[in-house]
């Protein structure tokens, strides 16, 4: 007797699958180097349009004439448009939980992934359907000698003809997708899982190992691929463990590195979690503990860079990996930390030389910064330690959120550049100051969270219940849920009673890993999160960089006076 498939094994019917069909216009074809100028997206399910997303994007660079000729997007059109730092989170929210669809998806998804990496947003590995690949699988060469979007639109007689504008092309791709799904339905493809498996380029090894996901539950959690010697090969997180792991055995997993990992894997273990925040934190901790060969991120929790004052009579700014209290950071790269130091030195006369200067009778030679008026040459004995101390104190007060005088000085320098009609210099300086303010603001928000002995917060789970997190000194100490109809406060009391004890340590985050504090902070700052309990006031410093967020927003939107005057 043949065993009947369960509903879970049948997969998600295509008519119940939410697709976000999107298209990008860019300044060129290289995701790591060129920039996005327009995003258009259409959310559909069961043939119905659920919503649309469309915006021009300031690429922060010139648009090549040949690109303007192709798309019709001019420099004037993107002047004053929001920057990608503003647009990207809105697009990710619009597309959250949906299957991404694009025509030649490698191009569009590549730009979005590169943007996520550059701006610090995690890439959630959504299922991706490429209509080019699907068309090549479904249509014969006689039917479709070319799989260009315009050719497929003509073949199917779609109402919205593509014109190299993002929303129009996304609408055309929606119609093409629906026609292609009708074709695959005639060959027995009726679920999302069947559609992904139907696409080409699934290796025999991937198909053979699909059974590794059979025992996994459909709950949030962390999965661990293990090799023949029980070694952890790869760690990942999922809102649905079974569905996510099954994707590794389909055509949607095109990364050569992870296909190699699948070939080595002999088992998949799972850690069930109360909700996605717990899963993301446990993923970070497991990657740090096991350092899996096939994970690229988070393997070194001490890998961030920090900006500190050296401990000497004439302290200077130094970029380090092991911070102490009063450090500015974390920065994702040494280059970003050094750029912040250079910007600060435009406003705070700290020495830039690396030589050690004795407190008494220094006898060095003044450097070029002295000639430029940016250093008072303590190395040559032209400035005493007492006279030098206010510069070091200015950095400490800025980082602590006591005083933003250095930022005021930098803003005054911008005014001077604009008044001198040096608009390009002003724009470059504005971007450097904006990056510094962001770093300061984030550092102060992280430090404020790490200082709290205990905080309890809740978020709606989307089904009438609540997700809870107990946070102690920036670390997730306990997590749980109260399902719909369950009294929430007894659940909270139980979670608090059983929460991990966190002993504060040293450094700006009191020993908490910066990446974990950042994950928890993002969850807490999302709209809809509510504070249940916080015995100690949680606030950013009154004199901190948070007061400059409006300035940064204007800079990001390209609406500040320096940019407008320059154009």
CA dist 52 and 58 (Å) reads 20
Q: Which of 103, 164, 178, 275 is catalytic?
A: 164
Cβ atoms 541, 401 nearer than 8 A: yes
Half-sphere CA count of 57, side-chain side, radius 13 A:
27
Angle formed by the axes of helices 405-419 and 385-400, nearest 10°: 90
Phi/psi for 288 (5° steps) reads -65, -40
| Phi-psi sector, 425: left (phi>0), alpha (psi -120 to 50), beta | alpha
467 CA to centre of own chain: 22
Is 164 a residue of the active site? yes
Cβ–Cβ under 8 Å, residues 29 and 109: no
Residue in the block written with tokens 């059109």: 77
Q: Residue 99: beta bridge partners?
A: 19
Give the span between the Cα atoms of 350 and 263, in whole angstroms.
55
With residue 133 as reference, give the H or E element that holds it: helix 131-138
Q: Are 479 and 470 in contact (CB under 8 A)?
A: yes
CB < 8 Å & 24+ apart, contacts of 3-10: 8/218, 8/242, 10/191
Closest by CA position to 271, among listed 259, 257, 281, 261: 281
Q: Please name the residues in contact with 528: beta carbons below 8 A apart, sequence gap of 6 or more.
A: 459, 460
Query: How many whole angstroms from its chain centre is CA 471?
Result: 22
Query: What is the distance between the alpha carbons of residues 71 and 309, in angstroms, rounded to a whole number?
Result: 50
CA distance between the termini of the chain: 75
How far apart (Å, rounded) are the C-alpha atoms in residues 449 and 472? 9
Cα distance between residue 96 and residue 111, in whole Å: 17
Closest to 492 in 3D by CA, of 471, 510, 522, 509: 471
* Catalytic center residues: 164
């Amino acid at each position: 007797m043949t065993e009947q498939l369960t509903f879970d094994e049948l997969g998600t019917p295509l008519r119940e699958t939410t697709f976000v069909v999107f298209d990008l216009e860019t300044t060129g074809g290289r995701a790591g180097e060129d920039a996005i100028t327009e995003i258009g997206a259409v959310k559909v399910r069961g043939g119905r349009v659920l919503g649309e997303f469309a915006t021009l994007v300031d690429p922060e660079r010139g648009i090549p004439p040949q690109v303007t000729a192709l798309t019709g997007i001019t420099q004037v059109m993107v002047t004053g448009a929001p920057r990608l730092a503003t647009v990207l989170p809105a697009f990710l929210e619009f597309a959250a939980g949906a299957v991404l669809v694009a025509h030649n998806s490698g191009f569009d998804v590549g730009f979005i992934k590169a943007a996520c990496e550059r701006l610090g947003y995690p890439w959630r590995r959504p299922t991706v359907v490429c209509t080019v690949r699907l068309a090549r699988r479904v249509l014969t060469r006689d039917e479709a000698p070319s799989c260009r979007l315009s050719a497929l639109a003509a073949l199917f007689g779609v109402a919205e003809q593509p014109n190299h504008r993002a929303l129009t092309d996304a609408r055309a791709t929606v119609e093409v997708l629906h026609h292609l799904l009708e074709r695959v339905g005639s060959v027995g493809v009726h679920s999302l899982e069947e559609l992904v498996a139907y696409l080409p380029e699934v290796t025999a090894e991937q198909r053979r190992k699909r059974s590794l996901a059979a025992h996994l539950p459909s709950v949030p959690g962390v999965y661990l691929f293990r090799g023949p010697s029980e070694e952890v090969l790869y760690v990942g997180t999922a809102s649905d463990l079974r569905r996510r792991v099954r994707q590794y055995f389909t055509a949607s997993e095109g990364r050569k590195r992870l296909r190699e990992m699948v070939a080595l894997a002999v088992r998949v273990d799972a850690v069930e979690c109360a909700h996605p925040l717990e899963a993301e934190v446990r993923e970070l901790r497991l990657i740090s503990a096991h350092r899996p060969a096939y994970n690229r991120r988070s393997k070194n929790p001490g890998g961030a860079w920090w900006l500190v004052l050296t401990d000497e009579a004439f302290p200077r700014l130094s970029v380090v990996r092991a911070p102490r209290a009063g450090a500015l950071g974390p920065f994702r790269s040494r280059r970003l930390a050094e750029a912040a130091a250079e910007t600060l030195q435009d406003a705070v006369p700290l020495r830039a030389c690396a030589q050690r200067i004795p407190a008494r009778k220094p006898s060095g030679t003044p450097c070029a910064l002295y000639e430029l008026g940016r250093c008072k040459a303590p190395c040559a004995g032209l400035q005493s330690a007492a006279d030098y101390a206010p510069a070091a104190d200015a950095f400490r007060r800025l980082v602590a959120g006591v005083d933003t005088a250095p930022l005021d000085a930098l803003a005054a320098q911008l005014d001077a550049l604009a008044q001198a009609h040096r608009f390009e210099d002003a724009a470059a300086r504005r971007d450097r100051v904006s990056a510094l303010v962001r770093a300061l603001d984030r550092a102060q928000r992280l430090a404020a969270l790490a200082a709290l002995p205990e905080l309890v917060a809740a978020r709606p789970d989307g089904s009438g219940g609540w997700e809870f997190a107990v946070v102690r000194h920036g670390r997730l100490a306990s997590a749980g849920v109260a399902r719909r109809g369950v009294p929430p406060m007894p659940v909270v009391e139980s979670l608090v009673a059983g929460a991990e004890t966190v002993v504060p340590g040293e450094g700006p985050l009191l020993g908490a890993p910066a990446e974990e504090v950042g994950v928890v902070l993002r969850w807490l700052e999302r709209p809809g999160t509510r504070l249940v309990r916080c015995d100690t006031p949680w606030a950013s410093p009154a004199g901190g960089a948070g007061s400059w967020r409006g300035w940064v927003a204007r800079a990001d939107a390209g609406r500040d006076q320096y940019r407008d005057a320059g154009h």
